[in-house]
Chains A and B, each alone.
Chain A
């Protein structure tokens, strides 16, 4: 309708255009006059033919049509105009005689909107016309909103349907499109249901019947296969309809294509619940499943098992082949592990469907907790053996080499098993205890499985954490050297320092006893020692520049270092780079180190000696030494172990040992240093036995580098320490030329 009465901006309707058709001049004239007077825009036509001519390219808001006219009468005219495109909904008011029932019937069958008895009571006619215009306006509005709705539904891939008992389905054109059908296609409940795969069809039918019985609403998704084979997911929502007696007569609802939305949702859920690398359930999903399994196990009174699977030496693979190869390996491991259980990939984040008492079976899965750590969840086991069987299967599938980066790679795993409820009643406890069990396997040589037991608790994990933290300690600059002065008590002079490693971890100082053994066990001691050597050389240079330090810094050298062929070269490099003489570094090795592999150690010692580096035997007397070899070794110092010093003056045996060591050292031309001197009495005893070089708390604990300088300036040089009493004075009397400052020049 091009010129329908439209709403002016003010909101009041413009004058309605009315086509008035009457063959009688008098009526035409009078009606036109009367209606114009009442606000209508009247266009006159004296015949049906004339009216149809006028309606070409023009659409009035209303047609007033005299029923009986010569030539084309009102009925024929009405029929003709209804055939014109765009005039189907044009309001037509047919004017008939007062008692002309036949005309009224004919008027409606000809497509008239309404009839009115010819009258000279113009107001009645005008009111009827206004009413018709209002109705037409509402109808147009309705049509518009219907088409808007249709478009909206089309955009939302949505359509509506009605189902009536005994009458079947009525499906809107939009809904037909959702089903991939054309607007002319006929869709029955049967044809639509046939688009569902059989299983889904059965379950949907079950649901529909159940809802129908209870007269409740339907709100469900249904997968369908369109005629072209495409798979879509439809959302169906319907509410029951009732007749005036309150009886359910059917359903009215909508159907919407939600494929994209569901796929997005699925993707999101998948990302949130599955590991992107292996495609296995991730930590979140594993824990969720474990929680459900635990609830089920508690409810039904059975056991369930968690297997923690950790690859052995996965780090080596990563180090050797790179991370992408490591990823490749993890993917293959994931595939193999999946085959060890009845793995279910279903995303689960809602309640378990009430699909029978064995529904917890669907929780069974292998998941990846992160890194090289996997977990297998067995939702129901009768005994340890069930879990151990799966653990064995896991170990078995790892036996085959994995091809990584074109190379065969052998990976083993350590598996720890924990059973609910025996080994824990919460998922957290079970995970922790399977972890403990897994570490017990690691500690006992890996590539095995173990079931948790209370005796295992408290081991493993901390150590590993420590190990991994220690790995990073060097690069994070968490290691520091502290220095303990070595004193010649006769002259109150510092002969050198012993460097002792400290680890500042998370703001706390870790004592060497807590990490050196671990570093030795894991081989980390090598990089640690190399760092210590480099750091000692660097510090020597700093001190040299600060106060003319020219003594030696003793660094402990573990036996592992002697396995390195480049040991001597490295030390040479360190001191050269630092710009200090070789003799600044002194190496302390234990008797045990020395005797472990003499053949390997001796050549290194000789070469070290050649470049000017002195060797000191640490903890002397605690282990056995082959005295014969001792005479041949290029060593220059023996350090008496603190255990002998501690008992000096308490047990006569210790004095005897110390005495023997001193005698031996003298005989071999070696210097003797006493460690762990804490009291004046110990100092006095050592002095009397002929040992004048000592270190220990009596003089100073090991100090940070800058504090050592302060200690020199504030304690040693001003001679303020209590131990700088008797021995020193006695010596001073005996040695008139001794220089109290010794090798250390005065700091000023």
Chain B
């Protein structure tokens, strides 16, 4: 185990919702470092927990489409932001981060559009995790 961290990839610029197919390699490497020989199945457990979380969050976000509640969204984005960053779902993490800040600072113009974007990003992450867990 080394204290040296590989450089963080720069956060992706605002892009059209083109779903990335994979999780960030550097993030995955960090996770693997926690369990170098895979004895504890750390990666498996983390991704499974993340997948469960994603499903729950997706349901919560989907429920907001008609009448979005800023508080609920704040909570979801906050949670998803850090766990997504941890597993390498950087696009979702970025999306959560931007929305969370926008909500906090009250700069969100079209909340429904943001919700839709969040849902899409969540789904993308879901498929990426699925691909990792069930190749």
B109 interfacial by beta-carbon distance below 8 Å: no
Question: How many whole Å from B71's CB to the nearest CB in chain A?
Answer: 10
B34 near A24 (CB under 8 angstroms)? no
B34 near A121 (CB under 8 angstroms)? no
* 12 pairs, A vs B, C-beta closer than 8 Å: A25-B53, A27-B83, A29-B46, A29-B49, A33-B35, A33-B46, A37-B34, A68-B74, A120-B30, A120-B85, A120-B86, A123-B5
A68 near B49 (CB under 8 angstroms)? no
Q: Which of A24, A26, A27 has the most CB of B within 10 A?
A: A26
Question: How many whole Å from B98's CB to the nearest CB in chain A?
Answer: 12
B79 near A23 (CB under 8 angstroms)? yes
Q: Hey, what's the 0/1 contact readout for B55-97 against A, CB within 8 Å counting as 1?
A: 0000000000000000000110011011101110000000000
A118 near B49 (CB under 8 angstroms)? no
B53 near A97 (CB under 8 angstroms)? no
What are the residues of chain B within 8 A of A33 when measuring CB–CB?
34-35, 40, 42, 46
What are the residues of chain A within 8 A of B18 when measuring CB–CB?
none
B87 near A68 (CB under 8 angstroms)? no
Q: Hey, what's the 0/1 contact readout for A55-72 against B, CB within 8 Å counting as 1?
A: 000000000000010100
Q: How far is the CA of A123 from the CA of B86 in the complex (A)?
A: 14
A32's nearest neighbour on chain B, judged by CB, is: B34
A24 near B53 (CB under 8 angstroms)? yes
**Size band of the interface chain B makes with A:** 20 to 34
CB interface residues, A 1-32, toward B, < 8 Å: 23-27, 29-30
Q: How far is the CA of A68 from the CA of B76 in the complex (A)?
A: 10
Known contacts: A29-B49, A120-B85. The answer to whether A99 contacts B3 by CB under 8 A is no
B113 interfacial by beta-carbon distance below 8 Å: no
B50's nearest neighbour on chain A, judged by CB, is: A26
Q: Hey, what's the 0/1 contact readout for B12-51 against A, CB within 8 Å counting as 1?
A: 0000000000000001001100110000101001100110
Q: How far is the CA of A26 from the CA of B79 in the complex (A)?
A: 9
Known contacts: A30-B31, A33-B35, A37-B1. The answer to whether A24 contacts B82 by CB under 8 A is yes
Q: Hey, what's the 0/1 contact readout for A97-123 against B, CB within 8 Å counting as 1?
A: 101100000000000000000101101
Interface residues of A (CB under 8 A from B): 23-27, 29-30, 33-34, 37, 68, 70, 97, 99-100, 118, 120-121, 123
Known contacts: A24-B53, A37-B1, A68-B78. The answer to whether A30 contacts B46 by CB under 8 A is yes
- Taking a contact as CB atoms closer than 8 A, the residue among A27, A30, A70, A121 that contacts B75 in the complex is A70
What are the residues of chain A within 8 A of B81 when measuring CB–CB?
97
Q: How far is the CA of A68 from the CA of B46 in the complex (A)?
A: 21
A30's nearest neighbour on chain B, judged by CB, is: B86
Q: Which of B50, B81, B82 has the most CB of A within 10 A?
A: B82
A27 near B86 (CB under 8 angstroms)? yes
Q: How far is the CA of A37 from the CA of B2 in the complex (A)?
A: 11
What are the residues of chain B within 8 A of A23 when measuring CB–CB?
79
Q: How far is the CA of A97 from the CA of B78 in the complex (A)?
A: 8
Question: How many whole Å from A126's CB to the nearest CB in chain B?
Answer: 9
What are the residues of chain B within 8 A of A24 when measuring CB–CB?
53, 79, 82-83
What are the residues of chain A within 8 A of B50 when measuring CB–CB?
25-26
Q: How far is the CA of A37 from the CA of B37 in the complex (A)?
A: 14
A34 near B34 (CB under 8 angstroms)? yes
A30 near B34 (CB under 8 angstroms)? yes
B34's nearest neighbour on chain A, judged by CB, is: A33
B79's nearest neighbour on chain A, judged by CB, is: A24
A98's nearest neighbour on chain B, judged by CB, is: B97
Q: How far is the CA of A694 from the CA of B133 in the complex (A)?
A: 154
A25 near B52 (CB under 8 angstroms)? yes
B112 interfacial by beta-carbon distance below 8 Å: no
A29 near B45 (CB under 8 angstroms)? yes
B27 near A120 (CB under 8 angstroms)? yes
What are the residues of chain A within 8 A of B75 when measuring CB–CB?
68, 70
A26's nearest neighbour on chain B, judged by CB, is: B83
- Beyond A23-B79, A37-B1, A100-B104, list 15 extra A-B contacts (CB 8 Å): A24-B82, A25-B49, A25-B83, A26-B49, A26-B86, A29-B46, A30-B83, A33-B40, A34-B34, A68-B78, A70-B75, A97-B78, A97-B81, A118-B82, A123-B3
Q: How far is the CA of A100 from the CA of B52 in the complex (A)?
A: 27
What are the residues of chain B within 8 A of A26 when measuring CB–CB?
46, 49-50, 53, 83, 86-87
Q: How far is the CA of A120 from the CA of B50 in the complex (A)?
A: 15
Q: Hey, what's the 0/1 contact readout for B90-132 against A, CB within 8 Å counting as 1?
A: 0000000000110010000000000000000000000000000
Q: Which of A25, A68, A118 has the most CB of B within 10 A?
A: A25
Question: How many whole Å from B13's CB to the nearest CB in chain A?
Answer: 19
Q: How far is the CA of A34 from the CA of B104 in the complex (A)?
A: 30
Q: How far is the CA of A729 from the CA of B8 in the complex (A)?
A: 154
A-B interface, 8 closest residue pairs, ranked by CB to CB distance from nearest: A26-B83, A123-B3, A25-B49, A26-B50, A24-B79, A33-B34, A26-B49, A68-B78
A36's nearest neighbour on chain B, judged by CB, is: B34
What are the residues of chain A within 8 A of B100 when measuring CB–CB?
97
Q: How far is the CA of A37 from the CA of B85 in the complex (A)?
A: 20
Question: How many whole Å from B115's CB to the nearest CB in chain A?
Answer: 19
What are the residues of chain B within 8 A of A120 when measuring CB–CB?
27, 30, 85-86
What are the residues of chain B within 8 A of A100 when measuring CB–CB?
104
What are the residues of chain B within 8 A of A29 when measuring CB–CB?
45-46, 49
Question: How many whole Å from A76's CB to the nearest CB in chain B?
Answer: 15
What are the residues of chain B within 8 A of A118 when measuring CB–CB?
82
B1's nearest neighbour on chain A, judged by CB, is: A37
What are the residues of chain B within 8 A of A68 when measuring CB–CB?
74-75, 78
What are the residues of chain A within 8 A of B53 when measuring CB–CB?
24-26
Q: Which of A27, A99, A120 has the most CB of B within 10 A?
A: A120
A68's nearest neighbour on chain B, judged by CB, is: B78
Q: How far is the CA of A594 from the CA of B135 in the complex (A)?
A: 157
Q: How far is the CA of A738 from the CA of B26 in the complex (A)?
A: 156
Question: How many whole Å from A121's CB to the nearest CB in chain B?
Answer: 5
Question: How many whole Å from B25's CB to the nearest CB in chain A?
Answer: 14
- Taking a contact as CB atoms closer than 8 A, the residue among A30, A37, A121 that contacts B5 in the complex is A121
What are the residues of chain B within 8 A of A70 when measuring CB–CB?
75
A95's nearest neighbour on chain B, judged by CB, is: B82
Q: How far is the CA of A354 from the CA of B41 in the complex (A)?
A: 90
What are the residues of chain B within 8 A of A97 when measuring CB–CB?
78, 81, 100
Question: How many whole Å from B22's CB to the nearest CB in chain A?
Answer: 18
Question: How many whole Å from B49's CB to the nearest CB in chain A?
Answer: 4
Question: How many whole Å from A66's CB to the nearest CB in chain B?
Answer: 9
What are the residues of chain A within 8 A of B86 when measuring CB–CB?
26-27, 30, 120
What are the residues of chain A within 8 A of B87 when measuring CB–CB?
26
What are the residues of chain A within 8 A of B40 when measuring CB–CB?
33
- Taking a contact as CB atoms closer than 8 A, the residue among A25, A99, A123 that contacts B101 in the complex is A99
B40's nearest neighbour on chain A, judged by CB, is: A33
